[in-house]
Amino acid sequence: LEWRRPRQRTTHRRVAKMLRATRLAAVAGGGAAACSALALSQRDDHAQARLASTERLLHQPPRKRIAIYGGSFNPITNAHLNVAAEIMHSKLADEVWITPCGVRPDKPSLKTSMIHRLVMCHLAVDTTFGSRFGVKVCDCEADKPRAMPSVVLMRQLAEKYPEADFVFACGSDQISEVRSWPAEAEPGFWDAVGDPGETFFNETHFLLIDRPGASIDGLEMPPNTQFVADALKARGSTMIETELSSTEVRKRVTPPDDEVRFGLRNAESSRERAWYDEAEGLVPPSVLGHIVRYGLYAHGHGAEGVDDEAT
């Protein structure tokens, strides 16, 4: 018994040391586990953040591309509507904004008011295209004292709608004139632009519409240019072109005299016809009705006019 007691005490000491070692190991292991858990949590948070960022990108709508199709639209014709439709068909733009210009001090022959021309554009678009088709009317010049220079117009639209990219649609024959387009200041509305034509030529993305009979051979193209006809051809389509102009429509709806401008006149065949029937099929019926109702192109009321495109 005497010699077993020390050995028993020794065994107890060993057990105690083992227990302490086990506790220390457990504590150490717990710390490592805690660190591991923390690291896993941090990695999980990082992964969730990346996932959330990716989801935001996936659900973020792509930037809309809007083509500005400007002009006097005096009046808007089926040819204008055809151009707007073909731009949409080319897939070079998500929307086309028909933008009638304001007053043109440099063109005193433009006598039809901005309001009438704007209303006719709305009538034409609303009665020609479906509600989901991307052709719309832009009234950004309606409250301006005069027509906005194109370079100013494009800059102001980009500032007002930063979520969209704007491109300028015009006839290919106009490219030779772009560099001469002015941009004088209009106090309270916009500042002058230095070297406006060159600036507009270089900073604007153009969508060019081929004009029948117009040649662009040898002309320098802007740095950012696309042709609507080429885009349609790549899709297996041929661009529909027409030589109809607003000038021709004005000639046809101008009556022989003011006395009968709202009535009927005798045709050579002796049967009665409306004096405006020669414009049927050249403009939407809603536009022709507006012209007749308000006698827009009677003598002295805008029968003479300007080119269809504004600068």
Per cent of the chain over pLDDT 90 is 59
pTM for the complete prediction?
A: 0.76
Mean pLDDT of the region 232-249: 93
> How buried is 82 (Cβ within 10 angstroms: 0-12 exposed, 13-18 middle, 19+ buried)?
middle
Q: Measured between alpha carbons, how far is 113 from 204 in angstroms, rounded to an integer?
A: 29
Residue 305's pLDDT is 45
Lowest mean pLDDT among 138-152, 176-190, 270-284: 270-284
Mean pLDDT of the region 158-166: 97
Residue 53's pLDDT is 59
**Predicted confidence (pLDDT) at residue 109 exceeds the cutoff of 90:** no
The answer to whether residues 174 and 69 touch, using CB atoms and an 8 Å cutoff, is: no
Task: Count the Cβ atoms, other than its own, within 10 Å of residue 170.
Answer: 25
* Structural tokens at position 106: 């440099």
Mean pLDDT of the region 81-87: 98
